[in-house]
Every structure is written in structure tokens, then in C-alpha cells.
Amino acid sequence: MNLQDIIYFYHLAESLSFTDTAAHFFVSQPSISMSLKRLETELKTTLIDRKRFHKRMSLTRSGEILHRHAGVILDSLSQIKDDIHDYKNQIVYFGFLPTIGGHFMSTLLPRLGKFTSSVKFVEEESSDIMYELVRSGEVPIAITGSDLPHFNDENLIQIPIATQKLSLWAAPDHPLTRQKQITSQDLKDTVFISLEKGYTHERIFDRWAQSKFDQPPQTLYTKEIQTALSIASSTHMVAFMIDILVKESKDLVKIPLIDPPEFYISLILNKESQDNPFQNEFNEMMMALAKELSENK
């Protein structure tokens, strides 16, 4: 079976147009027709219904099966090309959250050595999504956060880096900033700002709120950290964040919580991932650096 015939067929099945397919590949329409004929002859079936009384052609059942498998074949071919390119150019991948992982970059970047020019960063805002990327093997190694100190996944290697306590953050003129200690009663009429579902902060906030209030508090959810902080600094709403997300700000005041919940930052590695030798060497180096960060925290 000719690979180019598969490529032509996949585009034809997507567009259902000989004209569009021929134009896409800069070939003649008879070339596409001949390619289709070769596939139908080899597979001993009809792949596309071209009956004249149909307003437009359609895939037969056999055509649908080939279309589905052709997509897998072409995805695999693309992955093969990417893997060979990465191997030849010694490319390595590292996932991190710009807000959390970025906090440690000033320490890590100067230590990358020969990988400085070949590392490709995979950025993702959500800890949950980054965890899934590593667990699935799409990203071999990453810094991410969690609401639990340990991941219950035997395929992951986890090296704890830091633990951050969550606090409330409010504008300097907010009445809560004048109190030395904050009780649940003090917060009963507070409107909170939290990151939305899909973010680790939301789960931590939800558990904390359930433990402190009889009824769910009024809460504004957003997927943007800077949006949450901007709203908190310009209103009497209160943001629920870890310190490294806020950094130094004249527009916000930290309100420590009694017995605050914690956010756990770790380096995680998929030990089942089939990586090239350069990625494996990079992973070993990053694990050593993560252990140093953990020891110096």
C-alpha cells in the first residue's frame, strides 16, 4: 500500500472534494482519482460513493474504516518525524507552570549546562492538566502543584520541592487587614475570589470553605491569576492564593489564616516514558536539582 495514496485519501475523506484535494497537493484531479483507484483495487472494496444522483460524494463503510485508520497512521508518521528530529538535535522537554514553576527558573536555568539551548519548555497554567500530560507520557518531566503531598500513581517518580501555605489577600483598606487574627465569623460576609474548577487552588479552597462555613460562601471564580489579584486589589473581595503567585505587591496585603491549608509543589517524572538518551540524562539532572531545592527550602 502506497503511503502517498493514504495521505491523498485522508485529505479526500476530510474534504469530500477531488478538486480541493488536488489543489491542496498541487497535483491534477486525475492523479487523485488514480490514487483512489489503486487503494480500492488493493483493498477490493469501494471507498467513496460517487453515484451521480447524490449531491455530493460520501464515504462508504469501508471508506470510513480506512479514514479512521489513516488518521492513526498519519499521526504515527508525524510522531516518528518529531522523535527523529528531537534525537538528531538532542531536544529535551520540560513542563512547568509559568506562575509556580517560573518561581524556580532563576535557580534552575543557570544549571542546565549543555541543555540550555536544546530544552523546549511546555507551559500549562493548570496543575491538573500538567499532571495528566506527564501521566500520559506527552510530557516526560515537569514541575507541578497538588493539593496532596503525594501522588498515588506508581508510574510516577515524585520529588517534593516546596510546600506553600495558602493565605487571604486583600486591598490595603480592607477591614480584615486591621485584624491580628481572622476567625470564620469574621469571614461570614466576605466575597472570595478563587481559581475555577480544573485548578488545584479551587479544590483546596472548596475543602477549606466546607470546613469553615455552614453554607458555601459567595465566590467569584476565574481562570486567570492576575484577574483574581487585580479584582482583589481594587474591590473588597478577597483572593485565596499561595505567596509565590502574588509576589511583592503594594496593592495587596496578606491575611494569614489560622491552620491554613497547604499547596504542594513537586517535580514529577513518568518512569514508563520511552525517552531518548538525551532526555533521560536531562531527567536525571533535573531530579538532582529538585532534590537540592528540597533540601535548601
**What sign does the CA torsion over 212, 197, 272, 157 have?**
negative
Burial of 28 (0-12, 13-18, 19+ CB in 10 A): exposed
**0.85 surpassed by pTM:** no
Phi, psi of 188 (to 5 degrees): -65, -30
103 closest CA partner among 277, 263, 283, 276 = 263
* Domain range summary for the chain, segments of one domain joined by +: 3-88, 92-161+264-296, 164-263
43 closest CA partner among 7, 103, 2, 95 = 2
Kind of pairing between the strands at 219-222 and 192-195: parallel
Evaluate whether 3-88 and 164-263 have a shared fold: no
CATH of domain 3-88: 1.10.10.10
Distance CA 26, CA 166 (A): 58
pLDDT digit of tens for each residue in the chain (297 aa)?
Answer: 899 999 999 999 999 999 999 999 999 999 999 999 999 999 999 999 877 545 678 899 999 999 999 999 998 888 788 777 777 767 889 998 888 877 888 888 888 888 888 888 999 888 889 999 999 988 999 999 999 999 988 889 999 999 999 999 999 999 999 887 788 888 988 999 998 887 888 999 999 999 989 888 999 999 888 899 999 999 999 999 998 888 777 899 998 888 899 999 999 999 887 768 889 899 999 999 999 888 766
Q: What CATH architecture is 164-263? A: 3-Layer(aba) Sandwich (3.40)
CATH of domain 92-161+264-296: 3.40.190.10
Q: Which residues contact 207 (CB under 8 A, 6 or more apart)?
A: 147, 261
